[in-house]
Amino acid sequence: MKTQPWQLDVNAYDFRHTLSPQYGHLDTLRHVNNVAVHGFHTEARMRHLLTLLGREALFADDVLLRPRRTVTNFLHETHYPEDVICGVRLVAVGNDHYRLAIGLFQDGQCVSVQECLMGAWHGDQWVDLPAPVHAAFAAQLADDAALVALPALDDGSVEVHRYPSRVAVTARYADMDPDARIGELALARFVEQSRTGSLNMMRKPGMGLLVARVDIRYDRWVRGLGSVELVSALAGIGNSSFALRCGVQVDDRLVAVGESVMVLIDGASRRPTPLTAPLRQAMTPLMVAPSQASADAG
């Protein structure tokens, strides 16, 4: 998904605040972990919500304001301990959604942007935004900004049972958010775990992997903990990049679908390096052949 030029300008965001990375946000590559960066986007969104709707909007026992989709682009590594300026801009409002553009800036450059499509979850389904919420966001809608349609993300609900990599994980109390749902960052962490658990063939001396984009669609916001299974498969391979699709299942029901675009890099230069034939061969077991139904449809 192409980042628009205005998204790289901190002054294009009408709501801004500052966060300080913590030492605990660092990963084994010694930069801020991608899920922690996702957390910065989430924090920016919640601060924006707090400013617009007040504290009562932060928690709910009825209608939940939750993301329906987040598309996060990682443009540069985020480091510790320099502050990060977070910017939020409301760019669209509909009866059942609103859309936010969020940018993170460190040391004068944009390190990450996120497109976030928000919705209202009630009971066991997506519903229209409550009238006061819709009115409040509609009143704050910024001037038209150049937007790009969110890329297609097949839900995998038919094919997910055919994904070759399957890993059971234990959900923890800490995975629940204040509304006793498996939280957004827990789901992002599950998508991350699906990558680290299925890409062992890529871990070679002198090579590394960078996350370029993580696209997550949130299908269900389940209450409490359950039996979690992560299923994954390759969705496509390029010259030096590839896309890994993940499904998060709770009690055998699909709750989220994630797609991670990864780039193979040279460990010394930190530049993209081509996927060799042996690596491509090693990745073959993660691929799913088209189903007979798909073949017949084509």
Percent of residues in the chain assigned helix, strand, coil, to nearest 5: 30, 40, 35
Whether residues 121 and 220 fall in one domain:
no
Q: Tell me the pLDDT band of 292, cut-offs 50, 70 and 90.
A: very low
Show contacts of 292-296: CB within 8 Å, 24+ apart.
293/158
pLDDT at 56 over 50: yes
Q: Are residues 159 and 142 in the same domain?
A: no
Residues contacting 144, CB < 8 A, separation 6+: none
pTM passes above 0.75: yes
Compare 156 and 11 and report the one with higher pLDDT: 11
The residue that leads in pLDDT, 57 or 95, is 95
Domain that holds residue 266: 152-288
The residue count for the chain: 298
Statement to judge: residues 144 and 235 lie in one domain: no
- On the question of pLDDT at 237 being above 50, the answer is yes
Q: Look up residue 180 and give its two tokens.
A: 């006793």
Q: Is the pLDDT of residue 157 over 60?
A: no
Query: Residue 297 above 50 pLDDT?
Result: no
Measured CA to CA, the distance from residue 115 to residue 137 in angstroms comes to: 16
The answer to whether residues 10 and 105 belong to one domain is yes
* pLDDT recorded at residue 150: 85
Q: What is the mean pLDDT of residues 57-74?
A: 94
Does residue 291 have a pLDDT over 60? no
Give yes or no: residues 127 and 244 share one domain: no
